[in-house]
A = this chain, B = another copy of it.
Amino acid sequence: MDCTSIIGTIAATLTTASFIPQVIQVVKTKQTRDISLSMFITFTIGVLGWLIYGILLNAMPIIIANLVVFVLTMIIIVYKLRYR
């Protein structure tokens, strides 16, 4: 793997994994007041777009990364709607 691909892989891993601490925090505290619902809904629709984009290109890394992010942001949205 060349240098550019390595940096892209690190970037993708970080932006994907970053949602894990937010999921842990909302699940633990059930406090979601300061989280913007608009942000997570817009972001999740965008992630669905990336998922379709990945499927159309048959690009497995894009598909997997966005599937993981989709699951994580959906958990945050469910908690936001449940514990406003």
A14 within 8 A of B: yes
**Contact status B18-A46, CB under 8 Å:** yes
Q: Which of A24-76 contact B (CB under 8 A)?
A: 24-26, 29, 31-36, 38-40, 42-43, 45-50, 52-53, 56-57
Query: CB distance B4 to A56 under 8 Å?
Result: yes
Contacts of A43 in B (CB 8 A): 14-15, 18-19
Interface residues on A, range: 35 or more
Residues on the B chain within 8 Å of A10, using CB = 46, 49
**30 A-B pairs whose Cβ atoms sit less than 8 Å apart in the complex:** A4-B53, A4-B56, A4-B57, A7-B49, A8-B49, A8-B50, A10-B46, A11-B53, A12-B46, A14-B43, A14-B46, A15-B42, A15-B43, A15-B47, A15-B50, A16-B46, A18-B39, A18-B42, A19-B39, A21-B36, A22-B36, A24-B36, A25-B36, A25-B39, A26-B34, A31-B33, A32-B34, A33-B34, A34-B34, A34-B35
